[in-house]
Amino acid sequence: MKQLLELSQKEKKLVVGLMSGTSVDGIDAELVEIQGNGINTKIHQVDFVTVPFPPHFKEFVLRNSQVGTSDVADITRLNFLIAQLYTDAVKELCKHAGVELSQIDLIGSHGQTIHHLPENIEMFGKKVSATLQIGDPSVLAKLTEVITIGDFRVGDVALGGQGAPLVPYFDYLLFRSDKVSRALLNIGGIANITYLPKGCKEGDVLAFDTGPGNMLVDQLMKLLYNKDYDEDGETAFSGTVREDLMDYLMEDGFVKSVPPKSTGRERYGKPYIADILEKFRKYDKEDIIATVSEFTAKSVYDNYNRFLFTGSRLSEPAASGGHNGGLDELFVSGGGAHNRYMLTSLQRYFAPAKVGIAESLGISSDAKEAICFAVLANETVSGNSANIPRVTGAQRPTILGKICLP
Ligand SMILES: Nc1ncnc2c1ncn2[C@@H]1O[C@H](COP(=O)(O)OP(=O)(O)O)[C@@H](O)[C@H]1O
Ligand SMILES: [Mg+2]
């Protein structure tokens, strides 16, 4: 406890942020020096590694993320195994950075989402919404002997929120501007957008999941080409967008649904892909990849148009009034930032707004989410709430995460 108190008083901390997303491609581990907290947070990116998961691990996790194919014994073991893999990733990061593990002040770990069920369902007389991230932070704290914060989403869900997205608070701390209206788009397995109108206050921030990120294209690449993803969007560039398939995809209920909203593999998994292939079998493989890649970009723009372009379409207007609408800059991060096809489509949709990658903001697009969870951990030990109720739909701001002692 003394260690925790001392840590909370420390002005500069060396923090590790760990992220492994719905793509299940690997563990992103960032070493970041954090100074201050809250609105005065300053970060210095020290080092970053992505540690791939072992062979066949992705299939194993995906099987255990789905109703019907999951196994409770596997999930129980995975909860510990993933924490062990995270521990290895922290050690690899330290080695890479030339830093001793004992010099690390704090770890912030997102965990591996295996199920996300933010909708209320009645069970045994109670309304239940839930989310499950595994790779237990207590195991991580014990194995690394570093104070670890994990399970960031649970507290927000307990208070009626979606538990997602959590990146918007981080985006607000680091990327708000008095001069321009900005949006930050992360294209991981799922895509989520944060909108920071010019001169915004925390209560003005809007953000939500827009729908699929790389998840649909990744699954189709696996089935049609036996590849994990469409490298640089090359396959999409070689195909033609098919309008009837596009129209069909644009009917997606989640894309049209009003924020707050968040989604996951439950919605865009195997049955979704099987349906597309069944109905549009007539088209060449590359046309399917092109159309679904185009849909991934278009669904982001459709969300922007519906819910961000005019604040009047939202149930609740911007807290400081009248800021909604207009966009000067959009910055893309996540693995999707490498997909030139998606980036080009976004540039076309969002013109005349400038569309670039997160690097233009001085942050690595691959490391951004890992850095975010380091900063969120720093907020937890500083006693600051980090959910934005307008974004997640929670009843109130709350301190996120579980504090696990070594
Ligand atoms: N060079 C690349 N070209 C196209 N897509 C890429 C490239 N590198 C990574 N990706 C995409 O990014 C995904 C991983 O993105 P990431 O941000 O790690 O997502 P998550 O947070 O869900 O793990 C990969 O599955 C792949 O679809
Ligand atoms: Mg990833």
Nearest protein Cα to ligand 1, atom 24 = 335
Ligand nearest to the CA of 23: 1
Handedness of CA 207, 208, 209, 210 (dihedral sign): negative
- Ligand 1 pocket mutation pick from 218, 229, 292, 371 by most atoms within 8 angstroms of CB: 229
Q: Give yes or no for residue 230 CB within 6 A of ligand 1.
A: yes
Measured between alpha carbons, how far is 377 from 402 in angstroms, rounded to an integer? 9
Run of H or E including 374: helix 368-381
Ligand nearest to the CA of 231: 1
Q: Return the CATH fold of 168-352.
A: Nucleotidyltransferase; domain 5 (3.30.420)
Radius of gyration of the chain (CA): 20
Look up the CATH architecture of domain 2-166+365-404: 2-Layer Sandwich (3.30)
Nearest protein Cα to ligand 1, atom 18 = 335
Rounded to the nearest whole angstrom, what is the distance from the C-alpha of residue 22 to the centroid of ligand 1? 10
Ligand nearest to the CA of 215: 1
What whole-number percentage of the chain has pLDDT above 70?
96
Helix axis angle for 285-303 and 215-225, nearest 10°, is 180
- Which atom of ligand 1 is found nearest the CA of 333? 17
Nearest protein Cα to ligand 1, atom 12 = 335
Q: Give yes or no for residue 131 CB within 6 A of ligand 1.
A: no
Q: Give yes or no for residue 231 CB within 6 A of ligand 1.
A: yes
- Which atom of ligand 1 is found nearest the CA of 189? 22
Rounded to the nearest whole angstrom, what is the distance from the C-alpha of residue 384 to the centroid of ligand 1? 31
Residue 8 neighbours by CB under 8 Å, 6+ apart: 381, 382, 383
Query: Looking at this protein, which amino acid is placed at residue 5?
Result: L
Q: Give yes or no for residue 335 CB within 6 A of ligand 1.
A: yes
Measured between alpha carbons, how far is 42 from 22 in angstroms, rounded to an integer? 28
**Per-residue confidence (pLDDT) for residue 321, from 0 to 100:** 39
Q: Give yes or no for residue 368 CB within 6 A of ligand 1.
A: no
Measured between alpha carbons, how far is 270 from 251 in angstroms, rounded to an integer? 18
Average pLDDT over residues 287-298: 98
**Per-residue confidence (pLDDT) for residue 150, from 0 to 100:** 98
Measured between alpha carbons, how far is 287 from 354 in angstroms, rounded to an integer? 28
pLDDT digits (tens, 9 = 90+) for 197-245: 999 999 999 999 999 999 999 999 999 999 999 999 999 999 999 999 9
Query: Looking at this protein, which amino acid is placed at residue 362?
Result: G
Nearest protein Cα to ligand 1, atom 13 = 335
Q: Give yes or no for residue 110 CB within 6 A of ligand 1.
A: no
- Which atom of ligand 1 is found nearest the CA of 335? 12
Which of these, 246, 377, 390, 261, lies nearest to 318 by C-alpha position? 390
Rounded to the nearest whole angstrom, what is the distance from the C-alpha of residue 200 to the centroid of ligand 2? 30
pLDDT digits (tens, 9 = 90+) for 338-361: 999 999 999 999 999 999 999 999
**Per-residue confidence (pLDDT) for residue 326, from 0 to 100:** 85
Rounded to the nearest whole angstrom, what is the distance from the C-alpha of residue 20 to the centroid of ligand 1? 11
Is residue 254 a contact partner of residue 211, using CB atoms and an 8 Å limit? yes
Measured between alpha carbons, how far is 22 from 12 in angstroms, rounded to an integer? 31
Residue 287 neighbours by CB under 8 Å, 6+ apart: 239, 240, 241, 242, 245
Rounded to the nearest whole angstrom, what is the distance from the C-alpha of residue 236 to the centroid of ligand 1? 15
pLDDT digits (tens, 9 = 90+) for 5-34: 999 999 999 999 999 998 899 999 999 999
**Per-residue confidence (pLDDT) for residue 325, from 0 to 100:** 59
Domain ranges of the chain: 2-166+365-404, 168-352
CA–CA distance from 63 to each of 58, 68, 213 (Å)?
Answer: 8, 9, 20
The two three-digit tokens of residue 370, written as one number: 């890992």
Average pLDDT of the residues of the chain: 94
Q: Give yes or no for residue 209 CB within 6 A of ligand 1.
A: no
- Ligand 1 pocket mutation pick from 49, 57, 339 by most atoms within 8 angstroms of CB: 339
pLDDT digits (tens, 9 = 90+) for 301-350: 999 999 987 543 343 444 433 345 589 999 999 999 999 999 999 999 99
- Which atom of ligand 1 is found nearest the CA of 232? 3
Query: Looking at this protein, which amino acid is placed at residue 145?
Result: E
pLDDT digits (tens, 9 = 90+) for 370-385: 999 999 999 999 999 9
Number of C-beta neighbours around residue 19 at 10 A: 26
The answer to whether domain 2-166+365-404 and domain 168-352 are alike in fold is: yes
